[in-house]
Structure 1
Amino acid sequence: MSIGMIGQKVGMTQIFDDKGLAIPVTLLQVGPCTITQIQKNENYSRIQIGYKILNPNKLNKPMLGHFARKNLPCFKYLKEYKIKDTENYNVGDIIKVKDLKEKEFVNVSGLSSGKGFSGYQKRHKFSRGPMSHGSKNHREPGSIGAGTTPGRVFPGKRMAGRMGHRRVTIQNIQIIKIDSINNLLVMKGSIPGKIGNIIYINKL
Protein backbone atom coordinates (compact mmCIF):
# COMPACT_ATOMS: atom_id res chain seq x y z
CA MET A 1 0.00 0.00 0.00
CA SER A 2 1.51 3.29 -1.10
CA ILE A 3 -1.42 5.56 -0.29
CA GLY A 4 -2.57 6.67 3.14
CA MET A 5 -5.54 5.83 5.31
CA ILE A 6 -7.90 7.68 7.66
CA GLY A 7 -8.73 6.53 11.14
CA GLN A 8 -9.74 7.51 14.64
CA LYS A 9 -7.86 7.60 17.93
CA VAL A 10 -9.20 5.09 20.45
CA GLY A 11 -6.89 5.63 23.42
CA MET A 12 -3.58 4.70 25.03
CA THR A 13 -2.40 1.70 27.01
CA GLN A 14 0.75 -0.33 27.48
CA ILE A 15 1.95 -3.76 26.44
CA PHE A 16 4.91 -5.85 27.50
CA ASP A 17 7.56 -7.21 25.16
CA ASP A 18 9.45 -10.50 25.40
CA LYS A 19 11.91 -9.00 27.90
CA GLY A 20 9.14 -7.78 30.20
CA LEU A 21 9.60 -4.09 29.36
CA ALA A 22 6.48 -1.90 29.25
CA ILE A 23 5.91 -0.21 25.89
CA PRO A 24 3.46 2.72 25.71
CA VAL A 25 1.14 2.27 22.74
CA THR A 26 -1.79 4.06 21.13
CA LEU A 27 -4.80 2.23 19.69
CA LEU A 28 -6.15 3.48 16.36
CA GLN A 29 -9.27 2.32 14.58
CA VAL A 30 -8.31 2.72 10.93
CA GLY A 31 -10.55 2.29 7.92
CA PRO A 32 -11.99 0.68 6.04
CA CYS A 33 -11.43 3.45 3.49
CA THR A 34 -12.91 3.58 0.00
CA ILE A 35 -11.25 5.05 -3.08
CA THR A 36 -13.62 7.77 -4.28
CA GLN A 37 -11.61 9.47 -7.05
CA ILE A 38 -8.47 8.96 -9.16
CA GLN A 39 -6.83 11.87 -11.00
CA LYS A 40 -3.88 11.31 -13.32
CA ASN A 41 -1.30 13.99 -14.15
CA GLU A 42 1.97 14.00 -16.06
CA ASN A 43 4.30 13.93 -13.06
CA TYR A 44 2.13 12.26 -10.44
CA SER A 45 -1.41 11.09 -9.77
CA ARG A 46 -3.79 11.68 -6.89
CA ILE A 47 -6.10 9.25 -5.17
CA GLN A 48 -8.95 10.44 -2.98
CA ILE A 49 -10.22 8.18 -0.22
CA GLY A 50 -13.34 8.43 1.91
CA TYR A 51 -13.94 7.42 5.53
CA LYS A 52 -17.12 7.01 7.62
CA ILE A 53 -20.35 6.64 5.69
CA LEU A 54 -22.64 9.62 6.21
CA ASN A 55 -26.35 10.30 5.82
CA PRO A 56 -26.87 11.98 2.40
CA ASN A 57 -29.17 14.57 4.01
CA LYS A 58 -26.13 16.12 5.70
CA LEU A 59 -24.30 16.92 2.45
CA ASN A 60 -24.79 19.69 -0.10
CA LYS A 61 -25.68 19.04 -3.74
CA PRO A 62 -22.13 19.27 -5.18
CA MET A 63 -20.89 16.59 -2.79
CA LEU A 64 -23.97 14.44 -3.45
CA GLY A 65 -23.25 14.63 -7.18
CA HIS A 66 -19.60 13.77 -6.57
CA PHE A 67 -20.57 10.46 -4.98
CA ALA A 68 -23.59 9.77 -7.20
CA ARG A 69 -21.55 9.90 -10.42
CA LYS A 70 -19.43 7.02 -9.12
CA ASN A 71 -22.28 5.06 -7.48
CA LEU A 72 -20.63 5.36 -4.06
CA PRO A 73 -22.09 5.98 -0.60
CA CYS A 74 -21.54 9.38 0.99
CA PHE A 75 -18.51 9.79 3.22
CA LYS A 76 -17.90 12.28 6.01
CA TYR A 77 -14.12 12.60 5.60
CA LEU A 78 -12.16 12.84 2.35
CA LYS A 79 -8.41 12.94 1.88
CA GLU A 80 -6.15 13.06 -1.18
CA TYR A 81 -2.76 11.38 -1.44
CA LYS A 82 -0.14 11.63 -4.15
CA ILE A 83 0.82 8.41 -5.88
CA LYS A 84 3.05 7.54 -8.81
CA ASP A 85 1.24 4.50 -10.18
CA THR A 86 -2.55 4.05 -10.21
CA GLU A 87 -2.75 0.84 -12.24
CA ASN A 88 -3.50 -1.33 -9.20
CA TYR A 89 -6.28 0.95 -7.90
CA ASN A 90 -9.85 1.50 -9.05
CA VAL A 91 -12.68 3.69 -7.83
CA GLY A 92 -14.66 1.76 -5.26
CA ASP A 93 -11.75 -0.34 -3.96
CA ILE A 94 -11.68 -0.74 -0.20
CA ILE A 95 -8.44 -0.29 1.71
CA LYS A 96 -8.12 -2.06 5.05
CA VAL A 97 -5.49 -2.38 7.77
CA LYS A 98 -4.47 -5.77 6.41
CA ASP A 99 -2.65 -3.87 3.65
CA LEU A 100 -0.19 -2.68 6.32
CA LYS A 101 2.53 -4.80 7.93
CA GLU A 102 3.65 -5.19 11.50
CA LYS A 103 7.01 -3.62 12.47
CA GLU A 104 6.47 -1.13 9.63
CA PHE A 105 7.11 2.61 10.11
CA VAL A 106 4.51 5.22 9.08
CA ASN A 107 3.77 8.92 9.56
CA VAL A 108 0.67 9.90 11.53
CA SER A 109 -0.95 13.36 11.41
CA GLY A 110 -3.73 14.85 13.48
CA LEU A 111 -4.95 17.89 15.39
CA SER A 112 -3.21 18.36 18.71
CA SER A 113 -5.23 18.91 21.88
CA GLY A 114 -6.36 22.51 22.31
CA LYS A 115 -5.08 24.24 25.47
CA GLY A 116 -6.97 27.50 25.05
CA PHE A 117 -5.41 30.89 25.73
CA SER A 118 -2.14 30.12 27.51
CA GLY A 119 0.52 32.29 29.09
CA TYR A 120 4.23 32.65 28.45
CA GLN A 121 5.49 29.92 30.75
CA LYS A 122 3.12 27.27 29.50
CA ARG A 123 3.20 28.19 25.83
CA HIS A 124 6.89 29.01 25.28
CA LYS A 125 8.57 27.49 28.35
CA PHE A 126 9.65 30.91 29.68
CA SER A 127 11.36 30.91 33.08
CA ARG A 128 9.54 32.72 35.87
CA GLY A 129 10.77 35.72 37.78
CA PRO A 130 11.83 35.81 41.45
CA MET A 131 9.16 34.60 43.84
CA SER A 132 10.23 36.81 46.75
CA HIS A 133 7.70 39.22 48.28
CA GLY A 134 9.22 42.38 46.81
CA SER A 135 9.33 41.07 43.25
CA LYS A 136 6.41 42.05 41.05
CA ASN A 137 7.56 39.99 38.08
CA HIS A 138 6.51 36.44 38.94
CA ARG A 139 5.01 35.28 35.63
CA GLU A 140 5.31 38.34 33.41
CA PRO A 141 7.12 38.40 30.05
CA GLY A 142 9.58 41.21 30.73
CA SER A 143 10.69 43.56 27.99
CA ILE A 144 9.10 43.00 24.59
CA GLY A 145 10.82 45.68 22.50
CA ALA A 146 13.93 47.79 22.03
CA GLY A 147 12.82 51.38 22.76
CA THR A 148 12.72 54.44 20.55
CA THR A 149 14.45 52.49 17.78
CA PRO A 150 12.68 50.67 16.21
CA GLY A 151 9.80 51.84 18.39
CA ARG A 152 7.62 48.83 17.75
CA VAL A 153 7.30 45.13 18.53
CA PHE A 154 8.56 42.83 15.80
CA PRO A 155 6.06 40.39 14.27
CA GLY A 156 6.33 36.87 15.59
CA LYS A 157 7.27 37.88 19.11
CA ARG A 158 6.69 35.00 21.48
CA MET A 159 3.81 36.09 23.68
CA ALA A 160 0.69 34.66 25.29
CA GLY A 161 -1.97 33.31 22.96
CA ARG A 162 -3.83 30.26 21.78
CA MET A 163 -1.98 27.02 22.31
CA GLY A 164 -2.55 23.66 20.65
CA HIS A 165 -5.27 22.66 18.17
CA ARG A 166 -2.89 22.62 15.22
CA ARG A 167 -1.90 19.98 12.74
CA VAL A 168 0.96 17.87 14.07
CA THR A 169 2.77 15.09 12.20
CA ILE A 170 4.66 12.39 14.10
CA GLN A 171 7.17 10.68 11.83
CA ASN A 172 8.50 7.13 11.88
CA ILE A 173 5.98 5.53 14.24
CA GLN A 174 6.24 1.77 14.39
CA ILE A 175 3.24 -0.51 14.02
CA ILE A 176 3.41 -2.99 16.90
CA LYS A 177 0.33 -5.10 16.13
CA ILE A 178 -2.52 -5.26 13.61
CA ASP A 179 -6.03 -6.52 14.36
CA SER A 180 -7.66 -7.07 10.97
CA ILE A 181 -10.97 -8.22 12.45
CA ASN A 182 -11.62 -5.02 14.42
CA ASN A 183 -9.61 -2.71 12.11
CA LEU A 184 -7.26 -1.76 14.94
CA LEU A 185 -3.64 -0.63 14.82
CA VAL A 186 -1.37 -0.71 17.86
CA MET A 187 1.17 2.09 17.40
CA LYS A 188 4.27 2.60 19.52
CA GLY A 189 4.29 5.89 21.42
CA SER A 190 1.81 8.74 21.45
CA ILE A 191 -0.43 10.14 18.71
CA PRO A 192 -1.51 13.81 18.57
CA GLY A 193 -5.04 14.70 19.62
CA LYS A 194 -7.69 13.55 22.03
CA ILE A 195 -9.67 10.33 22.05
CA GLY A 196 -11.99 10.28 19.04
CA ASN A 197 -9.88 12.64 16.91
CA ILE A 198 -9.48 11.90 13.22
CA ILE A 199 -5.92 10.91 12.27
CA TYR A 200 -4.26 10.44 8.89
CA ILE A 201 -1.74 7.68 8.23
CA ASN A 202 0.80 8.07 5.45
CA LYS A 203 3.15 5.26 4.54
CA LEU A 204 6.81 6.19 4.14
Structure 2
Amino acid sequence: MKFILGRKSEMTQRYRPDGSAVVVTKVVAEPCVVAQIKSVSRDGYTAVQVASGKRKRVAKPQAGHLKGIGPVAVLREIRLTPEEAKPLAVGDRITVETFVPGDVVKVTGWSKGRGFQGVVKRHGFKGSPKTHGHKDQLRMPGSSGAGGVQRVRPGKRMPGRMGNEQITVANLEIIAVDVPEHTLYVQGAIPGSRNGLLVIQGKGDLTTAKAAAPVEPAAVPAISEAPAVPAATTTQ
Protein backbone atom coordinates (compact mmCIF):
# COMPACT_ATOMS: atom_id res chain seq x y z
CA MET A 1 0.00 0.00 0.00
CA LYS A 2 1.21 3.49 -0.88
CA PHE A 3 1.07 6.23 1.74
CA ILE A 4 2.56 9.60 2.59
CA LEU A 5 1.91 12.54 4.92
CA GLY A 6 1.17 15.96 3.44
CA ARG A 7 -0.32 19.35 4.13
CA LYS A 8 -3.19 20.99 2.30
CA SER A 9 -2.07 24.05 0.37
CA GLU A 10 -4.78 25.47 -1.90
CA MET A 11 -7.33 24.65 -4.58
CA THR A 12 -6.56 25.31 -8.22
CA GLN A 13 -7.08 23.61 -11.58
CA ARG A 14 -5.07 21.39 -13.89
CA TYR A 15 -5.65 20.26 -17.46
CA ARG A 16 -5.94 16.73 -18.77
CA PRO A 17 -4.27 15.69 -22.04
CA ASP A 18 -7.59 16.22 -23.85
CA GLY A 19 -7.68 19.85 -22.66
CA SER A 20 -10.46 19.52 -20.09
CA ALA A 21 -9.97 21.41 -16.83
CA VAL A 22 -10.07 19.57 -13.50
CA VAL A 23 -10.55 21.17 -10.09
CA VAL A 24 -7.75 19.91 -7.83
CA THR A 25 -6.34 20.41 -4.35
CA LYS A 26 -2.62 21.09 -4.09
CA VAL A 27 -0.99 18.94 -1.39
CA VAL A 28 2.61 19.57 -0.33
CA ALA A 29 4.11 16.26 0.80
CA GLU A 30 7.67 16.60 2.05
CA PRO A 31 9.74 13.40 2.28
CA CYS A 32 8.69 11.21 5.21
CA VAL A 33 10.88 8.87 7.23
CA VAL A 34 9.95 5.51 8.72
CA ALA A 35 10.44 5.98 12.48
CA GLN A 36 9.19 2.64 13.83
CA ILE A 37 7.78 -0.66 12.60
CA LYS A 38 5.32 -2.47 14.88
CA SER A 39 4.82 -6.22 14.64
CA VAL A 40 2.23 -8.69 15.88
CA SER A 41 4.72 -10.53 18.07
CA ARG A 42 5.83 -7.42 19.95
CA ASP A 43 2.92 -4.97 19.73
CA GLY A 44 -0.09 -7.13 18.88
CA TYR A 45 -0.64 -5.61 15.43
CA THR A 46 1.31 -4.55 12.34
CA ALA A 47 1.81 -0.88 11.61
CA VAL A 48 4.42 1.64 10.55
CA GLN A 49 5.11 4.95 12.26
CA VAL A 50 5.92 7.75 9.81
CA ALA A 51 7.68 11.01 10.71
CA SER A 52 7.38 14.25 8.78
CA GLY A 53 8.71 17.78 9.17
CA LYS A 54 11.41 19.17 11.41
CA ARG A 55 11.45 20.94 14.75
CA LYS A 56 14.18 22.47 16.87
CA ARG A 57 14.02 20.18 19.89
CA VAL A 58 11.93 17.44 21.49
CA ALA A 59 11.63 15.90 24.95
CA LYS A 60 14.21 13.32 25.98
CA PRO A 61 11.86 10.32 25.66
CA GLN A 62 10.99 11.38 22.11
CA ALA A 63 14.64 12.03 21.32
CA GLY A 64 15.45 8.47 22.35
CA HIS A 65 12.58 7.13 20.26
CA LEU A 66 13.76 9.14 17.24
CA LYS A 67 17.43 8.31 17.65
CA GLY A 68 19.11 8.33 14.26
CA ILE A 69 16.30 10.36 12.65
CA GLY A 70 16.37 13.64 14.53
CA PRO A 71 13.59 15.85 15.95
CA VAL A 72 10.45 15.75 13.81
CA ALA A 73 7.24 17.77 13.85
CA VAL A 74 4.65 15.06 13.19
CA LEU A 75 4.35 11.33 13.91
CA ARG A 76 1.51 9.27 12.46
CA GLU A 77 0.81 5.54 12.54
CA ILE A 78 -0.54 3.64 9.53
CA ARG A 79 -1.85 0.07 9.78
CA LEU A 80 -0.35 -2.42 7.33
CA THR A 81 -0.40 -6.14 6.69
CA PRO A 82 2.71 -8.15 7.62
CA GLU A 83 3.48 -8.60 3.90
CA GLU A 84 3.30 -4.84 3.27
CA ALA A 85 5.53 -4.01 6.25
CA LYS A 86 8.15 -6.68 5.50
CA PRO A 87 10.27 -4.67 2.99
CA LEU A 88 10.30 -1.53 5.17
CA ALA A 89 13.08 -0.57 7.57
CA VAL A 90 13.60 2.25 10.03
CA GLY A 91 15.11 5.24 8.25
CA ASP A 92 13.56 4.58 4.83
CA ARG A 93 12.41 7.74 3.02
CA ILE A 94 9.02 8.03 1.33
CA THR A 95 8.52 10.72 -1.32
CA VAL A 96 5.82 11.72 -3.80
CA GLU A 97 7.58 9.60 -6.44
CA THR A 98 5.69 6.59 -5.09
CA PHE A 99 2.51 8.04 -6.66
CA VAL A 100 1.79 8.41 -10.37
CA PRO A 101 -1.00 10.25 -12.20
CA GLY A 102 -4.09 8.10 -12.32
CA ASP A 103 -3.69 6.54 -8.87
CA VAL A 104 -6.90 6.40 -6.83
CA VAL A 105 -6.33 7.35 -3.20
CA LYS A 106 -8.20 8.08 0.00
CA VAL A 107 -7.33 11.19 1.99
CA THR A 108 -7.84 11.58 5.74
CA GLY A 109 -7.91 15.01 7.36
CA TRP A 110 -9.59 17.07 10.08
CA SER A 111 -12.54 19.25 9.12
CA LYS A 112 -12.64 22.93 9.99
CA GLY A 113 -13.95 23.67 13.47
CA ARG A 114 -17.23 25.63 13.53
CA GLY A 115 -17.61 26.05 17.27
CA PHE A 116 -20.98 25.68 19.06
CA GLN A 117 -23.77 25.77 16.47
CA GLY A 118 -27.54 25.45 16.50
CA VAL A 119 -29.70 22.81 14.85
CA VAL A 120 -30.30 24.82 11.66
CA LYS A 121 -26.62 24.95 10.73
CA ARG A 122 -25.51 21.73 12.43
CA HIS A 123 -28.31 19.40 11.29
CA GLY A 124 -30.09 21.34 8.54
CA PHE A 125 -33.37 21.93 10.40
CA LYS A 126 -35.86 24.03 8.47
CA GLY A 127 -36.84 26.20 11.41
CA SER A 128 -40.24 27.50 12.46
CA PRO A 129 -42.55 29.87 10.57
CA LYS A 130 -41.90 33.56 11.07
CA THR A 131 -45.57 34.29 11.84
CA HIS A 132 -48.73 32.46 13.02
CA GLY A 133 -48.13 32.61 16.72
CA HIS A 134 -44.36 32.11 16.69
CA LYS A 135 -42.19 34.64 18.46
CA ASP A 136 -38.41 34.34 18.63
CA GLN A 137 -38.71 30.68 17.60
CA LEU A 138 -37.35 30.79 14.04
CA ARG A 139 -34.13 28.83 14.63
CA MET A 140 -35.09 26.88 17.76
CA PRO A 141 -35.27 23.06 17.63
CA GLY A 142 -38.79 22.75 19.02
CA SER A 143 -39.91 19.73 21.01
CA SER A 144 -37.08 17.44 22.13
CA GLY A 145 -39.15 14.28 22.69
CA ALA A 146 -42.43 12.70 23.75
CA GLY A 147 -43.87 13.50 27.17
CA GLY A 148 -44.70 9.92 28.07
CA VAL A 149 -41.12 8.69 28.49
CA GLN A 150 -40.18 11.75 30.59
CA ARG A 151 -36.71 11.96 29.08
CA VAL A 152 -34.80 12.83 25.91
CA ARG A 153 -33.91 9.74 23.91
CA PRO A 154 -30.21 9.14 23.07
CA GLY A 155 -29.16 10.36 19.64
CA LYS A 156 -31.55 13.30 19.53
CA ARG A 157 -30.21 15.95 17.17
CA MET A 158 -29.53 19.03 19.25
CA PRO A 159 -27.19 22.05 19.28
CA GLY A 160 -23.55 21.34 20.04
CA ARG A 161 -19.96 21.51 18.86
CA MET A 162 -19.63 21.28 15.09
CA GLY A 163 -16.61 20.38 12.97
CA ASN A 164 -13.05 19.51 13.97
CA GLU A 165 -13.68 15.84 13.19
CA GLN A 166 -11.58 13.30 11.35
CA ILE A 167 -12.98 12.76 7.86
CA THR A 168 -11.83 10.35 5.15
CA VAL A 169 -12.69 10.97 1.49
CA ALA A 170 -12.19 7.97 -0.81
CA ASN A 171 -11.87 7.47 -4.59
CA LEU A 172 -9.90 10.63 -5.32
CA GLU A 173 -7.65 10.61 -8.37
CA ILE A 174 -4.06 11.84 -8.52
CA ILE A 175 -4.08 14.26 -11.47
CA ALA A 176 -0.41 15.31 -11.45
CA VAL A 177 2.79 14.78 -9.46
CA ASP A 178 5.48 17.47 -9.18
CA VAL A 179 8.55 15.68 -7.82
CA PRO A 180 10.94 18.69 -7.52
CA GLU A 181 8.31 20.65 -5.56
CA HIS A 182 7.15 17.62 -3.48
CA THR A 183 3.58 18.30 -4.58
CA LEU A 184 0.55 16.16 -5.38
CA TYR A 185 -2.50 17.46 -7.24
CA VAL A 186 -5.57 15.54 -6.06
CA GLN A 187 -8.91 15.80 -7.84
CA GLY A 188 -11.72 17.46 -5.91
CA ALA A 189 -11.98 18.92 -2.43
CA ILE A 190 -10.18 17.66 0.67
CA PRO A 191 -11.33 18.26 4.27
CA GLY A 192 -9.43 20.66 6.48
CA SER A 193 -7.97 24.13 6.43
CA ARG A 194 -4.83 25.36 4.74
CA ASN A 195 -1.68 23.80 6.15
CA GLY A 196 -3.81 21.06 7.71
CA LEU A 197 -2.21 17.64 8.07
CA LEU A 198 -3.34 14.93 5.64
CA VAL A 199 -2.73 11.19 5.34
CA ILE A 200 -2.82 9.97 1.73
CA GLN A 201 -3.18 6.24 1.07
CA GLY A 202 -3.55 4.30 -2.15
CA LYS A 203 -3.24 0.83 -3.61
CA GLY A 204 0.00 -0.36 -5.14
CA ASP A 205 3.59 -1.03 -4.19
CA LEU A 206 5.30 1.53 -1.99
CA THR A 207 8.54 2.96 -3.41
CA THR A 208 11.09 4.00 -0.79
CA ALA A 209 14.65 5.23 -0.69
CA LYS A 210 16.53 2.87 1.58
CA ALA A 211 18.41 4.29 4.54
CA ALA A 212 22.13 4.66 3.90
CA ALA A 213 24.30 2.12 5.67
CA PRO A 214 26.66 3.60 8.27
CA VAL A 215 30.16 4.18 6.95
CA GLU A 216 32.85 2.34 8.88
CA PRO A 217 35.90 4.50 9.69
CA ALA A 218 39.04 3.52 7.83
CA ALA A 219 41.56 1.61 9.89
CA VAL A 220 44.73 3.54 10.73
CA PRO A 221 47.87 1.43 10.29
CA ALA A 222 49.86 1.01 13.47
CA ILE A 223 53.30 2.60 13.59
CA SER A 224 55.84 0.22 15.06
CA GLU A 225 58.70 2.69 15.34
CA ALA A 226 58.81 6.43 15.27
CA PRO A 227 60.58 7.80 12.19
CA ALA A 228 64.09 9.03 12.77
CA VAL A 229 64.46 12.79 12.98
CA PRO A 230 67.49 14.09 11.06
CA ALA A 231 70.02 15.95 13.18
CA ALA A 232 70.18 19.68 12.75
CA THR A 233 73.23 20.98 10.88
CA THR A 234 74.98 24.24 11.56
CA THR A 235 76.79 26.37 9.05
CA GLN A 236 79.91 28.42 9.77
TM superposition score normalised by structure 1: 0.90
Matched with 2:56 is: 55
Q: Which blocks of at least 5 consecutive residues in structure 2 are unaligned?
A: 204-236
Aligned partner of residue 62 in structure 1, secondary structure: helix
Aligned partner of residue 74 in structure 1, secondary structure: coil
**Residue type matched to 1:87 in 2?**
K
Matched with 1:102 is: 101
- In 1, Cα distance between equivalents of 2:200 and 2:163: 20
Corresponding position: 1:82 with 2:83: no
Q: Which has the larger radius of gyration?
A: 2
Larger deviation: 29-38 or 39-48?
39-48
Residue by residue over 1:147-179, the C-alpha shift from the partner in whole angstroms, topping out at 9 and shown as x without a partner, is 1x2101112210111110110000111100000
Contact kept in structure 1, 2:108 and 2:199, CA below 8 Å? yes
Matched with 1:127 is: 126
- In 2, Cα distance between equivalents of 1:162 and 1:133: 31
Matched with 1:73 is: 70
- In 1, Cα distance between equivalents of 2:24 and 2:171: 14
**Residue type matched to 2:108 in 1?**
S
- In 2, Cα distance between equivalents of 1:179 and 1:138: 51
Matched with 1:93 is: 92
How many angstroms does 1:19 deviate by? 5.0
- In 1, Cα distance between equivalents of 2:141 and 2:2: 46
How many angstroms does 1:4 deviate by? 2.1
**Residue type matched to 1:150 in 2?**
V
Percent identical across equivalent pairs? Answer: 36
Matched with 1:45 is: 46
Residue by residue over 1:3-44, the C-alpha shift from the partner in whole angstroms, topping out at 9 and shown as x without a partner, is 421110001112343555432110000130001111222696
Aligned partner of residue 53 in structure 1, secondary structure: coil
- In 2, Cα distance between equivalents of 1:161 and 1:188: 32
Contact kept in structure 1, 2:10 and 2:26, CA below 8 Å? yes
Normalized per residue, the structure richer in strand is 1
- In 2, Cα distance between equivalents of 1:104 and 1:162: 35
Matched with 1:178 is: 177
Contact kept in structure 1, 2:128 and 2:139, CA below 8 Å? yes
The runs of at least 4 consecutive aligned structure 1 residues that moved more than 6 Å come to none
Larger deviation: 38-47 or 102-111?
38-47
Q: Which blocks of at least 5 consecutive residues in structure 1 are unaligned?
A: none
Matched with 1:145 is: 145
How many residue pairs align between the two structures? 198
**Residue type matched to 1:24 in 2?**
V
Contact kept in structure 2, 1:3 and 1:82, CA below 8 Å? no
TM superposition score normalised by structure 2: 0.78
Q: CA RMSD in A?
A: 1.8
Corresponding position: 1:9 with 2:18: no
Contact kept in structure 1, 2:2 and 2:98, CA below 8 Å? no
Corresponding position: 1:157 with 2:153: no
- In 2, Cα distance between equivalents of 1:20 and 1:126: 42
Matched with 1:36 is: 35
- In 1, Cα distance between equivalents of 2:122 and 2:20: 33
